[in-house]
């Protein structure tokens, strides 16, 4: 195994104390991403902010990049749980694609505003990672999309596109990128939540050829 591939291996903690230390380091890294200080900081500075130690860091992560990887994995796990919740919460199961899209977009914007550090993590990863996205995260993204397809499946007939499933996946990925860039790059301009929601909903229904109510 070469150095780059080995750095993508995450040491999963088994003891409660190690799990607490890992989450503390991840939370600290996320806040530093929000503050735009993560990419300029070294490991010593990260562990100092986390009131941890370099030894504890290296017992959990192989590098600063590996910490970023783990942070992104945690974010994907959270999104998967969010998507599954859409399929189990009865109030979300409205048989109208526009209403379902609005519920999804509302929640997704709120999540990304709360987890703004994850947006910077994805941006930094794209700039610094020379390899492809790790297979584990691609699989998690696939699971997320499968859950979202289940959510929209009862309304698939409302999509006016010769390949409705492919079109739906594309627009979900596009909205993810659009929301992320709006929140991260226009933070100083205080993007209106209502305006962003309306833009995303319009993008969704126009691309899928859905009659706007």
Q: What is the pLDDT of residues 44-76, one digit of tens each?
A: 999 999 999 999 999 999 999 889 888 888 888
Residue 209 and residue 159 in contact, taking contact as beta carbons nearer than 8 Å: yes
> Which residues fall within 8 angstroms of residue 165, CB to CB, at 6 or more apart?
149, 156
- Give the Cα separation of 20 and 198 in Å (integer): 39
Residues (pLDDT < 70) of the chain are 1-16, 127-132, 186-191, 212-213
* Token output for 143: 């699971």
Q: Enumerate domains of the chain plus CATH numbers.
A: 10-62 (1.10.10.60), 65-213 (1.10.357)
Question: Could you write out the DSSP letters of every residue in 24-52?
Answer: HHHHHHHHHHHTT-TTT--HHHHHHHTT-
Give residue 2's pLDDT.
42
**pTM, 2 dp:** 0.78
The full length of the chain comes to: 213
Residue 108 and residue 179 in contact, taking contact as beta carbons nearer than 8 Å: yes
∠ at Cα 82 (24, 159), nearest 5°?
Answer: 150
Give residue 5's pLDDT.
44
Give residue 75's pLDDT.
87
* Cα distance between the two ends of the chain: 55
């Amino acid at each position: 195994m070469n150095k780059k591939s080995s750095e993508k291996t995450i040491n999963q903690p088994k003891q409660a104390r190690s799990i607490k230390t890992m989450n503390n380091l991840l939370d600290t890294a996320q806040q530093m991403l929000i503050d735009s200080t993560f990419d300029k900081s070294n490991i010593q500075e990260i562990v100092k902010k986390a009131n941890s130690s370099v030894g504890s860091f290296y017992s959990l992560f192989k590098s600063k990049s590996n910490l970023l990887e783990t942070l992104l994995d945690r974010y994907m796990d959270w999104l998967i749980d969010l998507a599954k919740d859409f399929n189990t919460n009865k109030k979300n199961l409205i048989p109208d694609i526009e209403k379902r899209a609005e519920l999804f977009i509302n929640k997704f914007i709120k999540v990304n505003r709360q987890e703004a550090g994850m947006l910077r993590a994805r941006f930094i990863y794209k700039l610094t990672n020379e390899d492809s996205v790790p297979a584990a995260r691609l699989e998690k993204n696939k699971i997320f999309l499968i859950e979202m397809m289940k959510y929209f499946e009862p309304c698939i007939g409302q999509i006016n596109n010769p390949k409705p499933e492919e079109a739906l996946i594309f627009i979900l990925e596009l909205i993810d990128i659009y929301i992320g860039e709006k929140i991260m790059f226009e933070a100083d301009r205080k993007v209106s939540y209502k305006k962003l929601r309306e833009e995303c909903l319009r993008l969704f229904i126009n691309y899928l050829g859905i009659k706007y109510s």
